[in-house]
Amino acid sequence: MASADQLINAFTTLLVTIDPPGLAPIFLGLTVGMSRAQRKQVALRGTIIAFIILAVFALFGSSVLGVLGISIGAFRIAGGLLLFWIAFEMVFEKRQDRKEKTGTAAITVDHIQNIAVFPLAIPLISGPGAISATILIAGSMQTAFELAQLIIVIAASLLLLFLALLIADRLDRFLGVTGRAILTRLLGVILAALATQFVVDGIKSAMNLAPSPV
């Protein structure tokens, strides 16, 4: 059974990489002209698809790495560096600009009915950062029950995201430009610390030392 610290760290890492406050205003931009019911349908479909993607990587990501000959330690280091880069972008407001460009480009290419799949589910929700974090966290889970707990944590994270998308218009007005900037930077610092821990654990694993809990 996973410890409370493991589950809390997993929940925090996933929540920060998924970034509900950052996705809320982009979701509004993607669904301009839609009714509240249509927005709810897009949010629900996108969230479910993202959950399936992350759950699959949680269950089989390590096996795929094994087939490719990549150790968990090596992936922890690489994934930690990737998460650290995302944290850097969050602190210096680079990630939001990139997400907005992704959303804008997708509207001109895909029909509006498909935005729940692209770009909402992929890559805005279950992007490289969230997938990497999921595989890293799953690597620290030793039993099937612990993996089941991780699936529940993923579901809880995406449920909060779904709720944030439902109230995206109110959340955006409440936070404002200043509030979003402060929250994004704060989450970026937290993610940087978690990413550093992933790298440290990866180095310990590569050197056959006992990693600290994730």
Go through the chain and tell me how many residues it has.
Answer: 214
Residue 25 has pLDDT above 80, yes or no: no
Residue 72 has pLDDT above 80, yes or no: no
Task: Please indicate whether residue 56 or residue 38 has the higher confidence score (pLDDT).
Answer: 56
Average pLDDT for residues 165-185, to the nearest whole number? 79
Dist CA 188 CA 175 (whole Å): 17
Residue 97 has pLDDT above 80, yes or no: no
Dist CA 106 CA 115 (whole Å): 8
- Which range (8-12, 145-149, 185-189) has the least confidence? 185-189
Q: Give the per-residue pLDDT at 79.
A: 76
Can you give the pTM of this predicted structure?
A: 0.71
Task: Please indicate whether residue 14 or residue 36 has the higher confidence score (pLDDT).
Answer: 14
* Cβ neighbours for 186, distance < 8 A, ≥ 6 positions apart: none
Q: Give the per-residue pLDDT at 52.
A: 96
Dist CA 131 CA 135 (whole Å): 6
- Which range (150-154, 201-205, 210-214) has the least confidence? 210-214
